[in-house]
Chains A and B, each alone.
Chain A
Amino acid sequence: MQFAIFFFFAAVAVIFALVVVLHRNPVVGALSLVASFFALAVMYVLLEAPFLAALQVIVYAGAIMVLFLFVIMLLNLQHHPETPTRPVQQFLGYTTSAGFGIALVYYLLKYAVFEKLPEGPFQSDVRAIGITLFERYIFPFEMVSILLLAAIVGALLLSARKGLPPKHPHEVAP
Chain B
Amino acid sequence: MAWDATDIALSIVKIAIVLFVMLNITPVMAWVERRGSALIQDRPGPNRVGPFGLLQAIADALKFILKEDIIPDRAHRMLYTLAPAFGLLPALTTIAVVPWGRGFRIPEMTIAGRKLFAGGRWFEPIVADVNVGILVIFALASLGVYGIVTAGWASNNKYSLFGGIRASAQMISYELSLTLAAVSVLLVAGSLKLTDVVWKQAGYFVLFDTVKIPAWNVFSPAMWLSFIVFVVSGFAETNRLPFDFAEAEAELVAGYHTEYSSMKFALFFMAEYMAMGTMSAVIATLFLGGWDIPWYHEPPTFLGFALSGLFMLLKCAFLMFVFVWVRWTIPRLKYDILMRLGWKVFLPMAIVNIVLVAAFIAGGWI
Chain A residues within 8 Å of B, Cβ to Cβ: 25, 27-28, 31, 34, 41, 50-51, 53-55, 57-58, 61-63, 66-67, 69-70, 73-74, 76, 125-126, 170-171, 173-174
Contacts and interface: CB of A to CB of B under 8 A. Distances in A.
A39 to B, nearest CB: 13
A31 B142 contact: no
Contacts of B152: 73
A140 B30 CA distance: 52
Given A58-B135, A170-B336, A70 B142 contact: no
B142 A34 contact: no
Contact of B132 (A54, A76, A171): A54
Contacts of A126: 132, 192
B232 interface: no
A54 B79 contact: no
Contacts of A73: 149, 152-153, 161, 164-165, 168
B116 interface: no
Interface in B104-139: 130-132, 135-136, 138-139
B134 to A, nearest CB: 9
Given A27-B79, A50-B131, A174-B162, A70 B169 contact: yes
Contacts of B336: 170-171, 173
Interface of B: 76, 79, 130-132, 135-136, 138-143, 145-146, 149-150, 152-154, 161-162, 164-166, 168-169, 171-172, 175, 179, 192, 335-336, 339-340
A34 B146 contact: yes
Contacts of B169: 70, 173
A70 B340 CA distance: 18
Nearest to B336: A170
Given A51-B135, A57-B139, A170-B336, A31 B172 contact: no
Given A58-B138, A70-B169, A173-B339, 11 more contacts: A27-B153, A27-B154, A31-B146, A57-B143, A58-B135, A58-B179, A61-B142, A62-B139, A62-B141, A67-B172, A174-B162
A171 B172 CA distance: 19
Contacts of A25: 76
B175 A70 contact: no
A70 to B, nearest CB: 4
A122 to B, nearest CB: 15
